[in-house]
């Protein structure tokens, strides 16, 4: 069984060297896939890779 890796908005923002709010806006616009867990979002590594592939 392959374990999925999830990141918070803050972690994704740090990885991509952008502001927290930028990542939040990408999620709200539907550009970056994310799952809402309670009041927080979690982003799969696979979704980040897919998003980055579209940006290139």
Q: Please give the backbone phi and psi of residue 7, each rounded to the nearest 5 degrees, phi first.
A: -130, 155
Residues 27 and 30: their CA atoms lie apart, in Å, by 5
pLDDT of residue 56: 52
* pTM for this prediction: 0.86
More confident: 1 or 24: 24
Going from N- to C-terminal start, the domains of the chain cover 1-43
Coil vs helix vs strand at 42: strand
pLDDT of residue 2: 75
Q: What does the pLDDT look like over 5-53, one tens digit per residue? A: 999 999 999 999 999 999 999 999 999 999 999 999 999 999 999 999 9
């Amino acid at each position: 069984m392959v374990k999925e890796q999830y990141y918070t908005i803050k972690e994704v923002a740090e990885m991509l060297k952008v502001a927290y709010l930028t990542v939040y806006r990408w999620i709200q616009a539907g550009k970056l896939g994310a799952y809402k867990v309670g009041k927080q979002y979690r982003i799969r590594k696979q979704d980040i890779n897919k998003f980055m592939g579209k940006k290139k």
